Structure 1
Amino acid sequence: MQSRTASSKYCVETALTPTTVALGNFDGVHRGHLQVVQAILPSNLPESVTDAYPTVVTFDPHPQEFFSGQKKTLLTTVEEKVTQLRSLGVKQVVVLPFNQSLAKLTPQEFVEDILVQKLQATCVSVGENFCFGSKRSGTTADLQTIAAKFGIEVIVVPLYKCGGDRISSSLIREALLNANLDTANRFLGRPYPLTGTVVAGKQLGRTIGFPTANLELPPEKFLPQSGVYCVEILINGQTIELEPHPLQGVMNIGNRPTVDGTVTTVEVHIFNWSGDLYGREITVSLGKFLRSEQKFANLDALKNQIAADCQAAKAFFT
């Protein structure tokens, strides 16, 4: 299966070396992943390796997608993952195309080819449940044994818990599907974001006094439960001029049953905004789930409910 992402700019062959490497999928870049990443940052390493480039090595497509042949939606797309990791102090991200050639590498071959020859790794950090090599045959103990032959230190990071709860990408997905934003955002360490491009819609919102920005998301992006959310909005990754804080609004995810819609859409109504957003990239961060999507008897009933949603969102942000 081919990668969905043009990840050649994150190619291992062009990586700066030597490196300190955090190795894993890191889907979501959640609080557990942070422990693995922080272990390879200069502030946490001896001075002897501070001249190395802190590097995250990840995979695209997700190995589960490669082996199952089924598309897997992601908490973080490659670009989102790179942005988040760089904000943590990572200097470069290497995306390994997960293909048949990579899947066939034995644990020994993976260490020699990727970590030693291509990345000149001085130390490697992994989570305690990390497996690698053909048929996931390599364990963290194997990684330590093989890497030691090349003078590479391997840091095995214990599974991280938040308030006694184990954190995992699958549990974050489950929380989002159940509209449990408190849990999802707590595990992530930040509100769950959706980043996409504003495209033209049917402009129904304008006719009832609530214009919306229709957000086109990457097809691999994981969507939470359909319904209405309180959200904060950044335009092109920044607040607009003269705005010291993110914009606020409400977002609906669903197929718009009141107007017999059949395709899932993501529509954002931004409070106190009248500018043109077509073609611009925006990031919407989910703050609170307000209600499930429902079909109303007519547009007036829908309009009244949207007004109530807006009031509830403004109260949430107050």
Structure 2
Amino acid sequence: MRVVSSTIEAVTPTSIALGNFDGIHRGHQRVIEPAIAFTRHNHQVVAAGNHPTEQPPQSPRLCPTVVTFDPHPREFFSGNPKRLLTPLPEKVAVLAQLGIEQLVLLPFDRELAALTPEEFISEILVKKLKTRSISIGVDFCFGRSRSGNSTDLKAIAAGYDVEVNIAPLYKDQGDRISSSAIRKALVEGQLTTANALLGRAYTLQGKVIHGQKLGRKLGFPTANLELSATKFLPKYGVYGVQVNIQSSGQNQWGILNLGCRPTVEPNAKNPTIEVHLFDYDQHIYGETLTVKLLHYLRPEQKFDSLQKLQAQIHTDCARTKKLLNLP
């Protein structure tokens, strides 16, 4: 997976999916799929035109590419950092799984914001990225003051013989699938809804750092995770999880506690993310873990004593094992 922040560094020619794609949910995937499909179709057409005795086609293969903006335009204009469902490392991993081979992060600045719709397509997409196809959502807006829409893009691109696919709004049980809807579900602890809209489990990815080792004293050693500062956090509480250890590729099961630990730190304001892995006692400090949130067990709560907290953790573990059909 190639990630570049300059069109000069990009592999061309391209077949592009264009948008912000935070979360890469099921609706986003409908926009991304045509970029991959066009690449495959183009390759098959070129290959089919050759006689078996001829040399391979000289036309360069199209690179299936996602083009997005960094920072998000709303963040640029408001000056407020945006919490992301998929910070860059997670976005790269999901896009690679879908079949995207290149991610172009266009630096969103005043110069880019000032481009007219025509200039954006001709100068960025056609001239610099040499795109042969563009895929967008029907509600995509672009160019100076968001003056261009999907219909405009298709009309302008036609003048450059660039094919455009416009994906309709994708709905789940009548409701539009959107990053905002996923955020709302996560904040409310509606994990099943959020995962259904995403088309996969919501994940937290971070490095294991040293903590206070209180979990070990309670009989439940935990790995403390340091997440990206831009990561969007779901509702505080306890989750049943699957954990992938990056270096070994191992998958483990466990529970995750997200919150300010009111029982042991009543005045804490910054949340911690702690994972207890079932039947696992190896040292993993410095490891990168990807944690899939599978079940929301309960909200964060304060207990009268460490003994009551310990008893509740036993209950949380037992419930998670039952939900996951573990022995």
Compute the TM-score of the two structures, normalised by the length of structure 1.
0.93
The 3 A distance-change label for structure 1 pair 21 and 238 is farther
Q: CA deviation at 1:162?
A: 2.3
Q: CA deviation at 1:49?
A: 7.5
Equivalent in the alignment of 1:289: 296
Q: Secondary structure at the match of 1:269?
A: strand
Q: CA deviation at 1:250?
A: 0.5
Does structure 1 retain, via aligned residues, the 8 Å contact 2:132–2:162? Answer: yes
2:36 to 18, 28, 41: 41
Q: CA deviation at 1:59?
A: 1.2
The 3 A distance-change label for structure 1 pair 15 and 263 is same
Q: Structure 2: which amino acid aligns with 1:317?
A: L
How many correspondences in the alignment? 307
- The alignment yields a C-alpha RMSD, in angstroms, of 1.6
Does structure 1 retain, via aligned residues, the 8 Å contact 2:189–2:235? Answer: yes
Equivalent in the alignment of 1:3: none
Equivalent in the alignment of 1:11: 6
1:169 aligned to 2:179? yes
Q: CA deviation at 1:153?
A: 1.2
Q: Secondary structure at the match of 1:205?
A: helix
Does structure 2 retain, via aligned residues, the 8 Å contact 1:198–1:214? Answer: yes
1:219 aligned to 2:193? no
The 3 A distance-change label for structure 1 pair 26 and 40 is same
Does structure 2 retain, via aligned residues, the 8 Å contact 1:128–1:140? Answer: yes
1:278 aligned to 2:285? yes
Q: How does 1:57-72 map to 2 (within 5 A)?
A: 57-72=67-82
Q: Secondary structure at the match of 1:193?
A: strand
Alpha-carbon distance in structure 1 between the residues aligned to 2:247 and 2:283: 16
Q: Secondary structure at the match of 2:316?
A: helix
Does structure 1 retain, via aligned residues, the 8 Å contact 2:177–2:197? Answer: yes
Does structure 1 retain, via aligned residues, the 8 Å contact 2:4–2:10? Answer: no
Alpha-carbon distance in structure 1 between the residues aligned to 2:214 and 2:242: 22
Equivalent in the alignment of 2:55: none
Q: CA deviation at 1:11?
A: 2.8
Question: Structure 1: which 5+ residue stretches go unaligned?
Answer: 1-6, 241-245
Question: Structure 2: which 5+ residue stretches go unaligned?
Answer: 48-60
The 3 A distance-change label for structure 1 pair 8 and 313 is closer
Alpha-carbon distance in structure 1 between the residues aligned to 2:35 and 2:107: 23
Q: Deviations over 1:154-204 (max 9, x none)?
A: 111101112333100000000000110111001111000000000000111
2:218 to 202, 208, 212: 208
Equivalent in the alignment of 1:180: 190
1:262 aligned to 2:269? yes
Alpha-carbon distance in structure 1 between the residues aligned to 2:18 and 2:95: 12
Q: Structure 2: which amino acid aligns with 1:294?
A: Q
Alpha-carbon distance in structure 2 between the residues aligned to 1:305 and 1:28: 32
The 3 A distance-change label for structure 1 pair 9 and 119 is closer
Q: CA deviation at 1:254?
A: 0.4
1:253 aligned to 2:258? yes
Alpha-carbon distance in structure 1 between the residues aligned to 2:99 and 2:90: 15
1:23 aligned to 2:18? yes
Q: Structure 2: which amino acid aligns with 1:56?
A: V
1:235 aligned to 2:245? yes
Q: Secondary structure at the match of 1:259?
A: coil
The 3 A distance-change label for structure 1 pair 200 and 49 is farther
Does structure 2 retain, via aligned residues, the 8 Å contact 1:256–1:262? Answer: no
Does structure 1 retain, via aligned residues, the 8 Å contact 2:68–2:105? Answer: yes
1:132 aligned to 2:127? no
Q: CA deviation at 1:298?
A: 1.1
Alpha-carbon distance in structure 1 between the residues aligned to 2:105 and 2:92: 10
Q: Deviations over 1:40-78 (max 9, x none)?
A: 114664545793111110111111111111111000012
Q: Secondary structure at the match of 1:40?
A: helix
Compute the TM-score of the two structures, normalised by the length of structure 2.
0.90
Q: CA deviation at 1:237?
A: 6.9
Structure with larger Rg = 2
Q: Secondary structure at the match of 1:55?
A: strand
Does structure 1 retain, via aligned residues, the 8 Å contact 2:4–2:103? Answer: no
Q: Deviations over 1:250-304 (max 9, x none)?
A: 0011000001233211110010111111111000000011111011111111111
